Structure 1
């Protein structure tokens, strides 16, 4: 194991132990109100599931180049990327495939019905207020996709006095960033308008390795343009309407083939979302929300002609009713419509389907004992119906220390591409059936500790995912090259540790994951997933300075399912510093991969070298 990884691992082990036992006095997140765990508001200290919250302060301090980088640096998931920040990106939550994580932006489902899963590279960072990461199955609350967990992203809100937020940054590799926002309220109206632009010359994203088909020794840069408008209206006491519009565009260079070294290959990605919601408090005990959301994921390559467009529409009625002290009923009804435009589809290049769903949940908080039960029925127009359920319980052994456990199942619907191309099932052939939903069954047990400013969680889990869809042998479809089939299963097992505390004037945080995501039939590790992951972070205030550093460490992984091509482990060290010039103006410096380690998360592709960014942020009140 490389010396840097050994050193990082020793530091992380020490900090993980410290986070368990030290006393602290920093501001805690336990009183933060979250919604992802139950789809209704509750304090983080009352959540029974494994939930992580990343705040706006965390986002600004780390200056991550993407949501995927942000989640990896906070120990929420593994990341695999084919090059720079605009390249195809996958995230593995608890070892589950990237398509098994449901991603929502302000309540709007984000998905690609061609590749499966959200296009992580198309989701902006500058517009985010906070991120909630729910680990573990949640189909009983959200329906399809939530086999490994849910990532819910909340954009910035308005309200109060009118204020502005402007930031500019210059960095290595010709990187330039600028973002701005206007926030406030006027009468019954509150508003938030944000925009951002980023350009970079990038780095050489490919590596000259045996078998590489795309290595070209050049830089692969990108341009990003992002904008959000959020307008709310307090129509009456307890009655609020809100409109959110999000537009994001990425133009990124990549190397398609070393046989065409002079070609300017580009990927063009548009990730858009719109949501209209009406929240009503009908009585002290009864609240509802009616919402309609649309998302669009458009991916195109040039000059190589490829275009795929996914559109998702979601109409939902959700709500809660308080039965009495410590008891609450949640309810929901949804219609989800998926549409895919792709020339590979046999149905004139367009595929469609819909799902109707109803669900309910029961929440009990009886002193030291807590219980939650959720159930949902989804009826899909292509593959039929699925019933899912989750049962969670917790008991406070002593003040601040709870034992929690849960059992539940989840599913992921086959994509329209898997169903509708020449590689999908040919139902005219004898004995061939439509693809079934991929299904997960999970059980977990954990400890949660929170006292003052010290927090610690430990969670052990076991998730078996069956009916996995793979590209297998020919015979059941029209193609002679191979067919999509339900022939595989995965076993996801592991233990997650996370803690934060304060030692003197230093805030400490750490995460560690010991996992074994394997193919259930062979026992081999799933591709590009490590057995051990860890993060370490520390920051402190010294006068007008806020100084911090972090380490991201990963063990070795196999690049392929046969476990014959190895990717080395790595340890990356990052530093950040903020200086408050005055109350509304601060200077920031970020240095990532400080020791310029060469790393790769996918065979034949490089990760970012050492990068530095210096930025100014101005936040005046108007």
Structure 2
């Protein structure tokens, strides 16, 4: 942190003018790590930025595709596109990874997490991933980190665009958009659709293809006024149908909607006020054949007011209030169907000599579980012009979801009303630097959980597949992340390697590894530009994992290779091709669920600059 900001108005500009870049840039602006604008070089957290150009270069179809290539992220999936997926960020569960869209908290209140398979990649401009606890700024759900998605935002002259793709397993995608604006106003509207016949998702049961169909619409618009004030709003909707093989159902219809509005008001050159409010809906119906089985609807309302106060060039205070209300409506009987959470938070950033310091604290008042206080401290020490040492400590908590607590007991499981919130603390030590054109970082961390919530098999003679949640008394996750990227002339090389040691520290499974976490993850990306033609390749590999905390069975590690090519036919026209899992590797990330074999995808894109 050379200086926190020249003025608070400059910070406001950073909030609204986030732009994409082709390669890692230490001056790239992020807002998620500290809830205010900072460059990658200034932030005292481990962060990854994914731009729209990164998404298009990778030719990813889903958000999970692009996330799993980043440091510390592992994705498990139940059988291909549109099937239930989970994010393990630094070994923590999906329920400990907070996902935010344009500043609005999203997710299912019953599941207690975001259905990442329903996130629409065509609507996304950029993704910021912050690894490590952020409960002291964001509250519950952020023990593992925060993933903030910024939707597409118009700029420049009125411009239409479209993309069409077709490939293996009867897969096709289409996207059409219109954007425009100038320095003081902007808008973007994007409609998209994806359909696939899929493949047989489950290794047992019905032998059939399990398809997925999705349609989405996104709108975002904003206005900048004299004096540094801004207003902005967005709305997105996704309607999907997924086929699968399960014990009680084989098809689900899911409707997700997110709506948000925000305002940035410059009270003075030293004081900026940000206000945002939003609502997210999640509605899912499950069927067995044509027979209705279940319905779950959740609504999450949120409101935030945040003050950014610049005390001096090297001192900034951030403070504010958060409000969240969750409501559920299902065909099942839940004991509690509504709860709210009020919170106050503050963060102080300062520079002492050449060192940067950051202190943060938050108090959450949860309607069901009472008050929880979390905090964080980080210290960045430049060792020389190209080398920086960062050490940090943070605490976090996670409130049980409605399903964790009250899911009606049946043959397949049930909730546990005696659950208490899980608590955790994390130490991290990272070294980051730049050598010639190589940007690199090494991070060592340890997270200790108290009362970790975990669903585990609890079979009986009558119900052999029954699962129940409980508070594991103690668990510990240790990890090491290594990442680097290098650009030389027309070559771009990047890679990351993660080592994970997640351990149960109490109970009958003490000393065993936590389930479903791979012990190693490797990603290597190589791209080369030949003028109009760009070629690229990705290697993704994961190590062995156990299927349960009892460690009685495991899944072997695997590696896949993807190849891709893009050819610029004309300034606005591109053709793209991608071969995924080139070597047709057969593997599973969840026991009993297949993953796609070798597939191809071909794309035609019209994108005027």
TM-score (ref. length: structure 2) = 0.90
Residue 533 of structure 1: aligned partner: 521
Q: Does 1:253 align with 2:249?
A: no
Q: Could you tell me how far 1:256 is from its partner in structure 2?
A: 2.6
SS at match of 1:140: helix
Write the distance in 2 (CA, Å) between the matches of 1:592 and 1:620: 28
| Residue-by-residue CA offset, 1:235-283 (whole Å, 9 max, x unaligned) | 33311111110101211111235xx9xx9x3111222110011111222
Contact map agreement 1:131 1:152 (CA 8 A) in 2? yes
SS at match of 1:497: strand
Greater relative contact order: 1 or 2 (C-alpha under 8 angstroms, separation 6 or more)? Answer: 1
SS at match of 2:593: coil
Q: Does 1:144 align with 2:140?
A: yes
Q: Does 1:410 align with 2:400?
A: no
Q: Does 1:72 align with 2:68?
A: yes
Q: Could you tell me how far 1:319 is from its partner in structure 2?
A: 2.3
Contact map agreement 2:202 2:593 (CA 8 A) in 1? yes
Residue 336 of structure 1: aligned partner: 324
Residue 215 of structure 2: aligned partner: 225
Question: Measured at CA, do residues 574 and 222 of structure 1 come closer, stay the same or move farther in structure 2, by a change above 3 Å?
Answer: same
| Residue-by-residue CA offset, 1:553-591 (whole Å, 9 max, x unaligned) | 001111122111111110100011110111111111111
Write the distance in 2 (CA, Å) between the matches of 1:482 and 1:252: 23
Residue 100 of structure 1: aligned partner: 96
Write the distance in 2 (CA, Å) between the matches of 1:483 and 1:595: 39
Residue 15 of structure 2: aligned partner: none
Contact map agreement 2:109 2:300 (CA 8 A) in 1? no
Write the distance in 1 (CA, Å) between the matches of 2:529 and 2:105: 39
The 5 A counterparts of 1:160-309 are: 160-185=156-181, 188-208=184-204, 215-257=205-247, 265-303=250-288, 304-309=292-297
Q: Could you tell me how far 1:345 is from its partner in structure 2?
A: 3.3
Q: Which shows bigger deviation, 112-121 or 436-445?
A: 112-121
The 5 A counterparts of 1:547-562 are: 547-562=535-550
Write the distance in 2 (CA, Å) between the matches of 1:100 and 1:157: 28
Residue 581 of structure 2: aligned partner: 593
Question: Measured at CA, do residues 228 and 367 of structure 1 come closer, stay the same or move farther in structure 2, by a change above 3 Å?
Answer: farther
Q: Could you tell me how far 1:342 is from its partner in structure 2?
A: 2.6
Q: 84, 87, 94: which one pairs with 1:88?
A: 84
Q: Does 1:467 align with 2:463?
A: no
Q: Could you tell me how far 1:393 is from its partner in structure 2?
A: 0.4
SS at match of 1:59: helix
Write the distance in 2 (CA, Å) between the matches of 1:111 and 1:352: 15
Q: What is the RMSD computed on CA atoms of the aligned residues?
A: 2.1
Q: Could you tell me how far 1:434 is from its partner in structure 2?
A: 5.0
Q: Which shows bigger deviation, 29-38 or 231-240?
A: 231-240
SS at match of 2:137: helix
Q: 403, 424, 433: which one pairs with 1:449?
A: 433
Q: Could you tell me how far 1:58 is from its partner in structure 2?
A: 0.9
Residue 566 of structure 1: aligned partner: 554
Write the distance in 2 (CA, Å) between the matches of 1:580 and 1:76: 33
Q: 483, 486, 494: which one pairs with 2:471?
A: 486
Contact map agreement 2:197 2:210 (CA 8 A) in 1? yes
Q: Could you tell me how far 1:323 is from its partner in structure 2?
A: 0.7
Q: Could you tell me how far 1:75 is from its partner in structure 2?
A: 3.5
The runs of 5 or more residues in structure 2 that have no matched partner are 1-21, 411-415
Write the distance in 1 (CA, Å) between the matches of 2:71 and 2:581: 16
Shift >6 Å, 4+ stretches: none
Q: Could you tell me how far 1:346 is from its partner in structure 2?
A: 3.6
The runs of 5 or more residues in structure 1 that have no matched partner are 1-25, 209-214, 425-431
| Residue-by-residue CA offset, 1:157-178 (whole Å, 9 max, x unaligned) | 1122222221011111111111
SS at match of 2:551: coil
Q: Could you tell me how far 1:505 is from its partner in structure 2?
A: 3.5
Q: 56, 63, 69: which one pairs with 2:59?
A: 63
Q: 510, 520, 524: which one pairs with 2:495?
A: 510
Q: Which shows bigger deviation, 445-454 or 321-330?
A: 445-454
Write the distance in 1 (CA, Å) between the matches of 2:536 and 2:599: 16
Write the distance in 1 (CA, Å) between the matches of 2:319 and 2:107: 24
Contact map agreement 1:352 1:416 (CA 8 A) in 2? no
Contact map agreement 1:388 1:409 (CA 8 A) in 2? yes
Q: Which shows bigger deviation, 338-347 or 392-401?
A: 338-347
Q: Does 1:371 align with 2:357?
A: yes
Write the distance in 2 (CA, Å) between the matches of 1:493 and 1:482: 27
Contact map agreement 2:72 2:498 (CA 8 A) in 1? no
Contact map agreement 2:456 2:548 (CA 8 A) in 1? no
Q: 507, 523, 526: which one pairs with 2:511?
A: 523
Q: Does 1:575 align with 2:556?
A: no
Contact map agreement 2:24 2:485 (CA 8 A) in 1? no
Q: Could you tell me how far 1:485 is from its partner in structure 2?
A: 3.8
Q: How many residues align?
A: 571
TM-score (ref. length: structure 1) = 0.88
Question: Measured at CA, do residues 419 and 204 of structure 1 come closer, stay the same or move farther in structure 2, by a change above 3 Å?
Answer: closer
Q: Could you tell me how far 1:473 is from its partner in structure 2?
A: 11
Write the distance in 2 (CA, Å) between the matches of 1:535 and 1:228: 31
Q: Could you tell me how far 1:29 is from its partner in structure 2?
A: 1.7
Q: Could you tell me how far 1:453 is from its partner in structure 2?
A: 3.7
Residue 4 of structure 2: aligned partner: none
Write the distance in 2 (CA, Å) between the matches of 1:584 and 1:281: 39
Contact map agreement 1:52 1:76 (CA 8 A) in 2? no
Q: Could you tell me how far 1:541 is from its partner in structure 2?
A: 0.5
Q: 15, 33, 37: which one pairs with 1:37?
A: 33
| Residue-by-residue CA offset, 1:589-615 (whole Å, 9 max, x unaligned) | 111101111010111110111111110
| Residue-by-residue CA offset, 1:431-485 (whole Å, 9 max, x unaligned) | x9853211111001010113564210110000011112245899xxxx9x88644
